[in-house]
A and B are shown apart, each in its own frame.
Chain A
Amino acid sequence: MDHDFAVTLDVGSSLANHTGSWRTFRPEYVHRLPPCNHACPAGEDIQGWLSLAEAGDYEGAWRALTRNNPLPAVMGRVCYHPCETACNRAGIDASVGINSVERFLGDMAIAKGWAFAPPTAKSGKKVLVVGAGPAGLSAAYHLAMLGHSPTIKEAGPAPGGMMRFGIPKYRLPRETLDAEVARIVALGVAIEYDCKVSDLRATMREGGFDAAFLAVGAHIAKRAYIPAGEAAKVLDAVQVLASMEGEDRPLLGRRVVVYGGGNTALDVARTAKRLGAEEAIIVYRRTREKMPAHDFELEEALEEGVMMKWLSTIKNVEAGSLTVEKMVLDEKGFPQPTGELETLEADSVVLALGQDVDLSLLNGVEGLKIEKGVVQVGANMMTGAAGVFAGGDMAPSERTVTVAVGHGKKAARNIDAFLRGEVYAPAPKHELASFEKLNAWYYGEAPKTVRPTLELARRSSTFEEVVAGLDESNALYEARRCLSCGNCFECDNCYGVCPDNAVIKLGPGNGFKFNYDFCKGCGVCASECPCGAIRMEPEEI
C-alpha cells in the first residue's frame, strides 16, 4: 500500500517489536495435584475421569477411572470418599459429589457390559494371590493388565472378602459385587474357592509361582474376656455377618445387644433390626465423638431405630440378660469405671471388638516381621521375604475397602518391577493445587445434588439398598461442579485476558501455548486462571 512516509504505517508492523525481552517472570502451564487425587487411597486420577464424565464421555471416564480402581460400582457404595473431604469446592458452596458420580459410572458399566481391554503382551510370569478380597482382586486385576498370569486362592466359598462377608447387602448389593468380580475374571484371572493356603512356600513351589501377594484380610474376631453363663448366647460380629450370606440366617432373638463402636458394630445392629429384632442396642465404652464408626452411618442406624448406650462396658452375660457398668472419660479421654451397674435384657450379645489376622500361612516363611498382629511391609508392599508381598487388612492399614484396593494396585506395580528384576519408582508428586491457588470467582454457585435414600419403613425391614444412585442428568450436573483443580480445562481465560495477544490457542483438546516473543510476563493470565494451571517462574537473567 503506498502512503505517506512515517506518518502512515502498515498493518502488522508492530510484530517486529519483540516485547518478550521485558519479562522478569515467565508464565508456564503446569499440572498441579488436585486435592481429591492426593486424598484418594486407591490413587485414582479423579479430576481426570471427572473431566471426561462432564463432557458426557461416560465410557471414557469409566476407562480412565478403572486404570487405577477396577471396582467403581463397589466404591460408589462403600468408600468413605476422603476425596470429597479434601475437595476445594467446599470453599465455594459444597464439595463435588465424586462418590456418587463414581457409582453412576460403575453402574452404567455393569448395565452396558463394558469390559476391560485385555493386555497386549503376556509376560508368562505366574503370581499367587492369596485372598479374593478387595486387595487380592485389585492386585490380580492390575497384574493381569500388566500381562502377568495371577491366580487367586480364596479360602471362602465366594469372592469379595469383607465386601461380601463384612458389609451388609443393604450397603452393597451382591449383584453389583459379583458383576465387577466377573469382569476381572473375564480378564483371565483364575480364582480357586474353598482353597485355604496353609503353607505358602509349598504352595508357591507346587504352583510354580514367581511371586506372591498375600491379602487374607482380618476375619478372626477379637475376643474380650467377659464372664458368661454357658446358656448365654454370645456371638462374634464377623461370624454373624458372614452367616448372612448362607441359607441359615442367625437366630438373634427379640433383643440384641452389640458390644463395640466401629462400623462392624453398626452393620450388625442394623442387620439385627432387619432380621426382626425389636431392640438393637449398641453398648460402647466411650462417647459419640470418640466412636471410630463414620458419623453418617451412625445417623442412618439411629434413623432405623438402633439405640446407643454410651460410656458403658459389659461386666458379664447371663441367659436373657447382661450387666453393664457406667464409665467416665478421664482428662486424657480414656474411659474409667464408676462402679455404677445396670442390667439389660438381651436374647443375644454380639461382640464387635475388631478383627485379627490368621497368619498361619506364614509359618516357615523366613525374614518376616510381624507387629501388632499384622505383617510389616516396605514402601514397595514387600514383606521381609523376597517376592512375598502383602496388603489389605493383614498389613498396616486403615482397614477400608478403598485402602485395600490401593494396596493391591501398589503391590501389583512393585511385583511387576520385581518380576523384571527392577525397582518400581513412583512418578514424582506434582505441587498440590490448594484453594488459594485457584480463582474461585469464575465458578458459579451450584448446590450439591443429594442422593435420594430409601424411605425409612422399607429400610428397617428389607435388605434393599438404602442409598440410591444419581440419574444421568444429576450425575452430569455433579461432574460439572468439579473445579478441575490444577489442570487446564480449556476455559480460554488465559487466551482472552492477555493484553498482548501472546497466548496461542492450539484448538480443542490441545490447550494453549505462550508466545514468549511477545509475552511481557505481567501475570494477568496466572491471576485469572480459574484452576491454577499457570505458574509464574522467574526469568533467568
Chain B
Amino acid sequence: MFQVRIHGRGGQGVVTGAEMLSVAAFIEGRHAQAFPSFGSERMGAPVIAFCRIADREIRLREPVQDPDCLVLQDPTLLKVMDVFSGLRENGFLLVNTNKTFDDLHLGAIVEKLPAGHAVIVPATDLALKHVKRAAPNAALLGAFAALTGLVHFDSVKRAIAETFPGRIGEANIAAAQDAYDLVMAQERATAA
C-alpha cells in the first residue's frame, strides 16, 4: 500500500488534490482512499490531507504516520511544523516552490532520499499562468505522476476533468501537463 501525505493551507485545494489522486488510481482499477485531517480549518490555517493507494480493499482507518510520498504544497509551513515526520527512507518528496532545495534549507532531507526521489515544481506559478488562480493542486498531481509513476498521467488528466468540468478543467490539465513535463525532465537529468 502506497501512502501520500499532502501539507498546505485552508483554501488552497489540499483536500481536493488528495481526492483527485484517489480518483486517478480508481480510474486505473486500483483501490484508493483519500481523507482530510478532520479539523475546522480556516482559510490560511495549516491543513493536511492523506491518500492511500493499494491493489486490494483498504480497511485501515488510522492517520498516515509513515508516508511513502510527502507533498509540500505551501513551503511557508516549513516555519510552522515538522512536515517531514515519518517520511520513509525510500520515500518521495515533492515541493511546490520556484526556489531550490538549498534556498529552503532542505538539503539534508533530500540527501537522505534516493536520487531522483526529491523534486521541486513551481505549481503555484503554473496555476497562476493557466488557471489564473493560486490553486496548485492539479499541477502537483501531474508532478506526482511523473515523480512516482504510481499513476499514469492520462488517468490524472481524466481525474482533473471529472473534478473541474469545462474550461477550468482544461486550464488545470494544462498546468498539470507543464508540471509533468518539468519533473520528467528533472528525472531524466538525474537518471543520466
Contacts and interface: CB of A to CB of B under 8 A. Distances in A.
Indicate if A touches B (C-beta under 8 A).
yes
B44 interface: yes
A539 B44 contact: no
Contacts of A23: 44, 76
A226 interface: no
Interface string B4-15: 000001000000
A541 B9 contact: no
B97 A541 contact: yes
Contacts of B97: 541
B74 A541 contact: yes
A483 B9 CA distance: 39
B56 interface: no
Most B CB atoms within 10 A — which of A21, A23, A24, A539? A21
Interface residues of A, number: 8
Contacts, number: 21
Contacts of B44: 19, 22-23, 520
B86 interface: no
Contacts of B74: 541
A19 B46 CA distance: 10
A23 B75 CA distance: 12
B45 interface: yes
Give the interface residue-count category, chain B.
10 to 19
Nearest to B81: A21
Given A520-B44, A541-B97, A21 B80 contact: yes
Most B CB atoms within 10 A — which of A19, A23, A24, A541? A541
Contacts of A21: 46, 76-77, 79-80
B100 to A, nearest CB: 13
Nearest to A539: B76
A541 B125 CA distance: 13
A457 B79 CA distance: 78
Interface in B76-112: 76-77, 79-80, 97, 99
Contacts of B80: 21
Given A520-B44, A541-B97, A22 B75 contact: no
A445 B24 CA distance: 60
A22 B77 CA distance: 8
A24 B99 CA distance: 16
Contacts of A22: 9, 44-45
Interface string A530-541: 000000000101
Most A CB atoms within 10 A — which of B76, B99, B134? B76
Contacts of A520: 44
Nearest to B76: A541
Contacts of B99: 541
B10 to A, nearest CB: 9
B45 A541 contact: no
Contacts of B77: 21
A22 B45 CA distance: 6
5 contacts: A21-B46, A21-B79, A22-B9, A539-B76, A541-B76
Interface of A: 19, 21-24, 520, 539, 541
Interface of B: 9, 44-46, 74-77, 79-80, 97, 99, 134
**Which 4 pairs of residues, A with B, have the shortest CB-CB distance?**
A22-B44, A21-B80, A541-B75, A541-B76
